[in-house]
Amino acid sequence: MASQDWFDKDFYKILGVSKDISEADLKKTYRKLARQFHPDSNPGDATAEARFKEISEAHSVLADPELRKEYDQIRAMGSGARFSAGGRPGQPGGFEDVFGGMFTGAGAGRGQQSGSFEDLLGGMFGGGGFGTTSGGFRGAGGPTPGRDFTATTTLDFFTAINGETIKLQPTSGKAINVKVPAGVSDGQKIRLKGKGEPSPDGGTAGDLVLTVTVRKHPVFERDGLNLRLDVPVTFVEATLGATIEVPTLGGETVKLRVAPGTPSGRVLRVKGRGVTTAKGVGDLLATVQVAVPSHLTSEAQGHLEAFAAAMPGENPRTELIEKAQH
């Protein structure tokens, strides 16, 4: 039995084939799509399961020569028509009103109408009914939106911070240019409206959801809008104070003042040299690491021993030990 679905669904479009496709090519196309969307190949994917059912339904009609002929005739007759469940005074009639006018010449009302939809169309096509395809009347509903596609891309650290237009090449179809915004972070998703699967029945296309992976940088680390790096300083620079140069992400260096007596772990800030996005501008945060020399000349060792002898005999771990004992 044919259903309202036959007016609403474009089985050729669902399978992505032309109306004059041969039976052999139709079978090849169906097998390819069935393998792609079969539930066994997509466990737990409700979207793939729904797509598989849609493909199977389309193939079951188009693969049967008689059903395909009837389907083509019904689609040709009802092209552009949408049927409601029934009319109200002053509004177009329902499904029965449309066909009642075609077959009685007087637009018979529901109370006078005899037979069924199958009887009417059966008379048009030889009185044989519609075989085994089952279904019932349903609301026409709106067009079906296309599914979202997903993709991934890997960017180097510099590109992610500064932004860039990249090109994605789908497995089928033409390349897509994607503008990656400045300051995109690792794991962030970018949604491209209308770049997903086309609607099977004239609705809106799906979106392309792009997940970004950012490679680590050997020097800089992202911290929100800030950039962090470790800066080694010598024992003398940390003790006596110094002006040092530190790199920025662009490659140039900026000068930082290390105050006398600066310990390891102190963070020095360079305003406005972090990540720039529409939400704001971050800073460059330089963490001081006092570098201990691994080799000393005998002269330097002698000076260091003299320095140690001149220092007061304080134990910098005394407070730590006391806290641990409480």
Cβ atoms 298, 306 nearer than 8 A: no
CA gap 157, 175 in Å, rounded = 24
CA gap 270, 285 in Å, rounded = 6
Q: Are strands 284-291 and 276-277 parallel, antiparallel or unpaired?
A: unpaired
According to the model, what pLDDT value does residue 172 have? 67
According to the model, what pLDDT value does residue 77 have? 66
User: What is the pLDDT averaged over residues 30-45?
Assistant: 85
Contacts of 194 (CB under 8 A, 6+ apart): 204, 205, 206, 207
Are 5-124 and 221-315 in the same CATH fold? no
According to the model, what pLDDT value does residue 121 have? 38
Tens-digit pLDDT profile for residues 78-117: 544 333 333 343 344 333 333 333 333 333 333 333 344 3
Q: Which residue is listed with tokens 């349903």?
A: 138
CATH class of 5-124: mainly alpha
CATH class of 149-214: mainly beta
The beta-strand segments (E) located in the chain are 149-155, 164-168, 176-180, 189-192, 208-214, 221-223, 226-234, 242-247, 253-258, 267-270, 276-277, 280-281, 284-291
CA gap 62, 233 in Å, rounded = 77
Task: Look up the CATH architecture of domain 221-315.
Answer: Sandwich (2.60)
Q: Which residue is listed with tokens 């009685």?
A: 104
Domain boundaries, the chain: 5-124, 149-214, 221-315
User: Out of 85-94, 185-194, 270-279, which region has the weakest mean confidence (pLDDT)?
Assistant: 85-94
